[in-house]
Amino acid sequence: MCGINGFNFKNENQIRKMNLLTSHRGPDGTRFFCDDEISLGHNRLSILDLREEASQPMFSGDGNLVIVFNGEIYNFLEIKSELQKDYNFKTDSDTEVILAAYQKWGSRCLNRLNGIFAFAIWDKEKQELFIARDHLGVKPFYYYFDGDKFIFSSEIKSILAHPVERRLDQEALNIYFRLLYIPEPHTPWKNIFKLPPAHFAVLKNGKLEIKQYWKISHFDCLSDEQEIKGLIKGHFKEAVSRQLISDRPLGIYLSGGIDSTAILGRVSELRSKPAQTFTVGFEVESEHRAKFNADFELARKTSRFFKSEHHEVMLKARAVADNFEKVVWHGDDLVSNHTQTAMYVLSGMTKNHADVVLSGDGGDELFGGYDRYYLNYTLDRIQRLPKALRENFLAKFLFKLSGKQNLYDKLNIEPGIDRFLSFMSQKEADLSFLQKDFNQPEATRNFIGKKFFSSGEKLDFTKKMQYLDIKTWLLDDALNRSDRMSMAHGVEQRVPILDKEMVELSMAIPPSFGMDGQKSGKRIFKESLREYIPDFVYNQPKRGWFSPVAKWLRSDLKGWAYDILSPGYNPETEAYFDFAKVRKILDRHISGEKYALNPIWPLLTFQAWFKLFKNK
């Protein structure tokens, strides 16, 4: 893991400045390369081959190719073995393997890589820049291109070190307030973009050409349960084994859930030494511990079961306020998620013991763990009934009585973009604080509709929801914040369940295999990995990661929130927000009249972000 920077002109001072801004991503060294038409910078987090020879920018054996690379290639030894007869390797790094693979196969090398990566290769002879991002977008790649200057980085703040115009993208910001993140290729800035996952680009003669190199093409095509279980178990075991490669200490983020527990079980099977595990809890009153620290307690119990060396950190309310601007600065691509501070503090503690961690990200999206999948699955079956039986007073009463009013509200929404947004977008009524001239109610619908609902493909809608989550929420919320909060402290976070072979397999499994009785619950995934999951975890109900932030806003964080959400904090943002309405929303939340964390937190995040980046 590292930080990469670059641009298509020569400027030594500018590349040094970019490296300085991303130095947290690579605390073990910083280097750069400048030529007439290129400047490349690299901050190194040494994980494989710790020798100086493995530093970057790295040159190919003939000196023609130069690479800066962020990530890990888990199958680099297999590729290296295949290439050894053609290439004289001088290091034991995966970086050099990418160079050799690109030299032999060109862009086709990407189909052979199993890993997480973002890299740029400059070809001196062709005067051509080749850039690529991994299959799922675990590693970030941002760029600016105005038809002349091309600037790229692992983080937006490094691009903003250049004299580029800081124009806000009003459409992207409207999407942010509805989805709570900004989907690719957009960023908060009009002229800065994300390279999409599974894409590469070539910059030559002032032209940028972007192409896709991989996509999921097989859906719901498996039917034999025993075959599916065997495939899940085999792929999972291989993925975890591959991702243990490291010349630095390695640990596991342990949440108390199925995914991280299974990873710990597999790691304990492979290694004789106790695993290092890390978890975060919340310092709350005793009567609230059961709700907010259930996963924390489960992780502690799981660590004892597997005899890991367990490390814990407790987050206080004050730590949210004290670290908030740091979290937003490291995030720099707007994401509103109130767990980010917990992840930031957890990564800071982790760095004292390990430089690499495995996490369970992706299990719910791939194998149907979220309630919304079961609800979609149920809706499709209910909608087979005549509408008269679905839409009447008795039906509404029965749904309300069973505590499933939210399901009734969606009962007559047909599969498609409206149903997707009913699950994933904020309600327009909660966005009344947006100023009329700024507000674009159709922005999200137009963007998502054009990008994901215009092809006319026929796909079970529950599977479509899982697929869309991988392409949107997982990518630009979950993986985005995981990368930023871990790399803020120079910790490399790996995601074995998001191995591309696991992803392809999961999409080939019909949604029914994920259903568990009256709920969604990753049934087939859990049963496949039963040997790695103790009973006390296996039998736990599915729950989200509860944070007491909403509660803290009514007490310890009240004054802090009022300050940030006042018009004087950022006078310019009165063009975007009606602060009288913002104040009313906050008042009602604090009084307990109406829960409003979802509109409040993106406002807090945006206000801090605007202060840190727009006014600089």
Phi-psi category of residue 339: left, alpha or beta, with phi > 0 → left and psi -120 to 50 → alpha: alpha
Q: What is the DSSP string of 109-128?
A: GGGG--EEEEEEEEETTTTE
Rounded to the nearest 5°, which phi and psi values hold at 351? -60, -25
Query: Could you check whether the bond before residue 57 is cis, i.e. omega within 30 degrees of 0?
Result: yes
Q: Which residues, at least 6 apart from 69, have a Cβ–Cβ distance to it below 8 Å? A: 2, 4, 42, 56, 58, 94, 95, 98, 117, 118, 119
Radius of gyration of the chain (CA): 24
Q: Which residues, at least 6 apart from 362, have a Cβ–Cβ distance to it below 8 Å? A: 136, 259, 470, 474, 478, 495, 497, 498, 502, 503
Amino acid found at 393: F
Determine the Cα–Cα distance for residues 498 and 530; give it in Å rounded to an integer.
Answer: 19
Alpha helices, DSSP H, located in 189-257: 225-242
Cα dihedral sign, 20-21-27-30: negative
Determine the Cα–Cα distance for residues 568 and 545; give it in Å rounded to an integer.
Answer: 34
Q: What is the DSSP string of 484-515?
A: HHHHTTT-EEE-GGG-HHHHHHHHTS-GGGGE
Query: Could you check whether the bond before residue 27 is cis, i.e. omega within 30 degrees of 0?
Result: no
**Alpha carbon distances (Å) from 446 to 280, 410, 451, 454, 516:** 39, 20, 8, 10, 35
List the beta bridge partners of residue 38. Answer: 35
CA-nearest of 49, 95, 99 to 69 is: 95
2 is catalytic: yes
3-state DSSP call for residue 577?
A: strand
CA-nearest of 466, 493, 533, 499 to 234 is: 499
Burial per residue of 42-52, b for 16 or more beta-carbon CB atoms within 10 angstroms, e otherwise: bbbbbbbbeee
Active site amino acids: 2
